[in-house]
Amino acid sequence: MSSSKPLDGILVLEFCQFMAGPSAGLKMADLGARVIKIERPNHGEGGRQIAIKNLFVDGSSLVFHTVNRNKESYAANLKDADDLARVKQLIAQADVMTHNFRPGVMEKIGLNYEVVKAINDRIVYASVTGYGTEGPWVGKPGQDLLAQSMSGLAHLTGDADDNPTPMGLAIADILCGSHFVQGILSALVRRGKTGKGALVEVSLLESMLDLQFEVISTYLNDGNKPPIRAKQGNAHAYLSAPYGVYKTKDGYLSMAMVPMDKLADIIGCTELNKYSTEESWFEKREEIMEILAAFFAQKTSEEWLSILEPADIWCADVYDYQKLLNHEGYKVLGMDQKVKLSNGEEVHTTRSPIRLNDEPIYADKAAPRVGEHTQSIINEFNL
């Protein structure tokens, strides 16, 4: 692939920490933008010390390395007048500025939108908050699990008798980061037409609400009836049988949208024949899923797939990471890459999921140490 990427020449200043904002910076960096992290001297951004499974590499958490590769680090004390003045000079030459401080923090520092716009009226100024910029939740910590919990999402995952169950990953952060990029790129496209910058705002909570637009819309248009999770193998609170996950003789099988009469005929389950209408697939969901659970338990996952897939039934094995990452279907995607640090250590991670001109995007530049590029940036931009 050509060395030219879509965002080549775009300078992004990232005043972000933890996951949502930095994940957006990573996506832009992979697409060619130059992303400079503005960090506190010595300790850097808070995400350097937030670890998954207490794994650290070269003094920073493993997760920091995965979400901040392909960036540079400029150390500045924003409470110091000289440091702040140099940062403002950098802002004057930037295309995008991102931050995820709580509402009011940038005003205190003196880098709120109106100030920055006066410095550079072409800049795309983008911020992430937890719950928006007004209302009773403004002061709450903008953290992934808390946003999931407040959004209603935890009442969709798990089975009927389970407690509220959050998703097993930082879905609010990652999805909000994707929305962040969408807003920033759309503002850059508009700037290309009008020459004007923009203010872009997203929040963890609004991203979680958008994620649930189909089920929230169902709730709003169905008499405010709460979603009911299936008793066993729940996968979607509002979809009919057989939608869900079933235990097989040696593993698990997921079933998507399938006409029950077609499924009954293919697997030879005559007990399902009495459920002849689509209404019954909704109203008798639990009964149908119990029958299927007993039936699928009689064969292995591979045996069922050999019957169902040739008949064009939407189904899949349920992989764990060991099985997935060693499967040829995963390997052919080329999702792996290794990032080599200056101390010789390697971080094994994944690449951008985007392909350009039918080729994957690899960017193996390591995450920076705190302030690693401060002096070179000062020299380059005459700060």
- Tokens 């407690």 belong to which residue? 163
**Which H helix or E strand runs over 128?**
strand 124-129
The residues, any chain, with a CB within 8 Å of residue 142's CB and separated by 6 or more, are 20, 100, 102, 128, 129, 130, 131, 203, 204
Helical spans, DSSP H, in 159-300: 171-194, 204-211, 213-221, 260-267, 278-283, 285-296
Nearest to 295 by CA among 319, 314, 267, 317: 267
Give whole-number Cα distances, 17 to 39, 68, 208, 291, 297, in Å.
9, 10, 20, 49, 47
Nearest to 247 by CA among 301, 189, 188: 301
- The active-site residue out of 43, 99, 179, 236 is 236
Nearest to 230 by CA among 221, 222, 241: 241
**Catalytic residue at 236?**
yes
- Tokens 């010595």 belong to which residue? 42
Rounded Cα gap, residues 311 and 291, in angstroms: 21
Rounded Cα gap, residues 102 and 157, in angstroms: 29
Q: Any idea which residues carry the catalytic annotation? A: 236
